[in-house]
Structure 1
Amino acid sequence: MGRPTAVFVDRDAIKSNFDIAKSFSPNSKFVSVIKANAYGHGLKEVAQTLSKCTDAFGVACIEEALLIREAGIKNPVLLMEGFFSVEEIEIASKENFWLMVENQFHVDHILSSKPSQPVKVWFGIDTGMHRLGFQGREVGINFQKLEASENVQPSLVVSSHFSTADDLNSNTTKNQINNFDSSIKSNHLINYKHEQSLSNSAGLIGWSGSRRDWQRPGYLLFGNSPFVQKHEVEKVLKPAMDFKSKIISLRDISAGESVGYGQNWTAKKQTRIATVTVGYADGYPRNAENGTPTLVHGKRCPLVGRVSMDMITIDVTDIHHATIGDEVLLWGKELPVNEIAKYSNSIGWELLSRITSRVPRHYLN
């Protein structure tokens, strides 16, 4: 009943991908990163799926963390951008939300606050991404303040984030690992009670030197390779999302006739056009190029014409039995989201997280 555009999420695939992530560092603990509505897969549902597998969850903000609590899930939750207002410190204290601390604002307010119980701190170091984290002499000074505070739990996690771990041909990640270790040593942060965390998805799989006490996989949990190059891990990961719609109209056009807004595609021969009910208001990328593949009856059918708000048009000339109501796979197990992203001058992370709220999610297994 109703519009057929929908997302189908395979819970077993997510669990399988977690097991693959765990196999790369079996003695580590894991923060499963499920920010941005679990990369479009549904925050509460994915948290429920992984709650018995993972040690903790990672999100961008306290609003996302509170949704996890609303779902009845008790795992610790790391607020990966820290807190934005002082009031969040007490909420974090009560709810077992862990705080990323990476600037003077964070330190000053934690030290001056009066939480009902000490907060768990992840201490961020800028090793070269230059987005978040303490630099230079700030590292040792602020770490010592937090370590000495009764407002902070005794064991801190020292962490950083990679800028180009997805590119295995770049030396940047190796340099960042060296910068991290040098900062730990020069600021005397080595202590048995303090833990370390460096790896995101690409770091965990591609850079063994980054596998420390805590791993932070996100994108790979949903079955997608985090690398710019082809990688063996693609053979074992299971894409958890199928994004589907259906054909709602069919027509034949002659050579020289154009399709869609702006007439940016013109037929070179007699062509059968199928209209599919999905558009950029659903999260399908408006900048997807002509030729972007879809799947109909298991065969590739290229996008023709500009993506509009609610519809796209595809060439089904080679699908002789195509009819209204036929299912169209936009990306998923048989059509990687990373491939669609390349046609859209984007990345898979963006496409998944941009799927809008009007697209229903259905959960399998």
Structure 2
Amino acid sequence: MRPARALIDLQALRHNYQLAREASGARALAVIKADAYGHGAVRCAQALQRDADGFAVACIEEALQLREAGIGGPILLLEGFFEADELPLIEQHELWCVVHSPWQLDAIERSAVRRPLTVWLKMDSGMHRVGLHPTAYQAAYQRLLASGRVANITLMSHFARADELDCPRSEEQLAMFQHASQGIAAPVSVRNSPAVLGWPQLELKEQPSDWVRPGIMLYGATPFDQAQAMAARLQPVMTLESKIISVRELPAGEPVGYGARFVSERPTRVGVVAMGYADGYPRHAPTGTPVAVDGQLTWLIGRVSMDMLTVDLTDLPHTGLGSRVELWGKQVLASDVAQQADTIPYQLFCNLKRVPLLYLGG
């Protein structure tokens, strides 16, 4: 069997969820969209079900997968519904739904749902992606109340730059949100992972039913590009690993891999690893990207291929054929690999494919 695999530490996932609660003092929707950022939505939801206040997914297809697997409790559709004919399914499966556009308001008012919906009303406070304009927010809230088709409304928005710890934009967005929602007595949800971890100074309305939406932090990766105390307490959930399947001894001056992107400057011992961009490892990761072989740090050399990549074993004489290689995980942080590859941990996790997921601590 090909040795490439991803180990998913469910105990670390639970630890990170509890950290989100601790850091925020709020109820937390575990964001498990995009197949739990590549970690397996059903297994992650099952691992969190006893503790989680609810879950958040992107769309109804993801929600129905969880319901079919027996996941009960709140599931929020972060993008809401895309067609009005999804509303009967939302009602049937007791899903919560974000409303971010006027046409969705119209659809709810015209719908024939008999069981009132739970709606999260989204304001565009400065992200400028989706959300109602601040000047239209109060009226939208009143329309939902008057429709007779909505039982509970949570007020929400989304920060665009909370991962930038020295940027005032989050405070500006919060001020906009609070001004536009002034006078509405309803639960509030504005904090995503970076806001939970890095912005304790953001003062929200004192609401006992405040919600947070931890995403990337659940999986143990920092959303920041610098050290941050709370993020340092996260535990990596995924370990992407494989093995050395071949070893080459090369003299100085020899190229390795496609395009001769690496040429040995000294006699070099090259390890070939069963891992490539078809597995989701970034093709554009450069020479020098960290890896660990049998627990010892070394680095990638040469261009990543579809099914294989090469690492420098010159200074690791006790490693060789069959040695375990950690591409990212508890020793080699996904954030460090992402920084080298000019991407973010979110993309590393979401791009994972082909490798089997093995669950630990379930």
* TM-score normalised by the chain length of structure 2: 0.96
- d(CA) in 2 for partners of 1:151, 1:247: 59
- d(CA) in 2 for partners of 1:297, 1:29: 40
Task: For 2:253, give the aligned amino acid.
Answer: G
1:105-124 equivalence runs, <5 A: 105-124=103-122
Tell me the percent identity: 41
Deviations 1:53-72 (A, max 9, x none): 11110011111111111211
| Contact 1:199–1:210 (CA under 8 A) maintained in structure 2 | no
Q: CA deviation at 1:16?
A: 1.0
- d(CA) in 2 for partners of 1:70, 1:176: 38
Task: For 1:8, give the aligned amino acid.
Answer: L
SS at match of 1:145: helix
Task: For 1:197, give the aligned amino acid.
Answer: S
| Contact 2:198–2:228 (CA under 8 A) maintained in structure 1 | no
The yes-or-no answer on 1:364 pairing with 2:356 is: no
1:86-97 equivalence runs, <5 A: 86-97=84-95
Match in the other structure for 1:70: 68
SS at match of 2:277: coil
Match in the other structure for 1:343: 340
Match in the other structure for 2:36: 38
SS at match of 2:339: helix
Q: CA deviation at 1:136?
A: 3.5
Q: Which has the higher mean CA deviation after the structures are superposed, 131-140 or 262-271?
A: 131-140
- d(CA) in 1 for partners of 2:194, 2:24: 13
SS at match of 1:8: strand
Q: Which has the higher mean CA deviation after the structures are superposed, 207-216 or 42-51?
A: 207-216
| Contact 1:121–1:152 (CA under 8 A) maintained in structure 2 | yes
- d(CA) in 1 for partners of 2:316, 2:272: 14
- d(CA) in 1 for partners of 2:203, 2:274: 44
1:205-216 equivalence runs, <5 A: 205-208=197-200, 209=202, 213-216=210-213
Task: For 1:207, give the aligned amino acid.
Answer: W
Deviations 1:146-201 (A, max 9, x none): 11111111x2001000011111100001101111101112xx4x22xx21100001
Q: CA deviation at 1:210?
A: 5.5
The yes-or-no answer on 1:290 pairing with 2:287 is: yes
- d(CA) in 1 for partners of 2:290, 2:158: 34
Match in the other structure for 1:6: 5
1:243-322 equivalence runs, <5 A: 243-322=240-319
Task: For 2:164, give the aligned amino acid.
Answer: D
- d(CA) in 2 for partners of 1:210, 1:348: 28
Match in the other structure for 1:19: 18
Task: For 1:72, give the aligned amino acid.
Answer: G
SS at match of 1:232: coil
CA RMSD of aligned residues (A): 1.2
Q: CA deviation at 1:298?
A: 1.7
- d(CA) in 2 for partners of 1:76, 1:98: 7
- d(CA) in 1 for partners of 2:220, 2:344: 14
Q: CA deviation at 1:321?
A: 2.0
Deviations 1:245-295 (A, max 9, x none): 111111111211111111111111110111101111101001101110110
The yes-or-no answer on 1:233 pairing with 2:225 is: no
Q: CA deviation at 1:141?
A: 2.2
Match in the other structure for 1:204: 196
Unpaired runs of 5+ in structure 2?
Answer: none
1:162-173 equivalence runs, <5 A: 162-173=159-170
SS at match of 2:132: coil
Q: CA deviation at 1:105?
A: 1.8
| Contact 1:94–1:116 (CA under 8 A) maintained in structure 2 | no
| Contact 2:197–2:231 (CA under 8 A) maintained in structure 1 | no
- d(CA) in 1 for partners of 2:336, 2:226: 12
SS at match of 1:288: coil
Task: For 2:355, give the aligned amino acid.
Answer: V
Deviations 1:224-243 (A, max 9, x none): 22222211124321111111
Task: For 2:347, give the aligned amino acid.
Answer: E
Q: CA deviation at 1:111?
A: 1.0
The yes-or-no answer on 1:223 pairing with 2:220 is: yes
- Bigger fraction of residues in strand: 2
- d(CA) in 2 for partners of 1:137, 1:315: 59
- d(CA) in 1 for partners of 2:134, 2:123: 9
Deviations 1:34-65 (A, max 9, x none): 11111111100000011111111001111111
Match in the other structure for 1:183: 180
Task: For 1:140, give the aligned amino acid.
Answer: Q
- d(CA) in 1 for partners of 2:77, 2:161: 22
Residues matched between the structures, number = 356
SS at match of 2:177: helix
1:52-71 equivalence runs, <5 A: 52-71=50-69
Task: For 1:91, give the aligned amino acid.
Answer: L
Task: For 1:236, give the aligned amino acid.
Answer: R
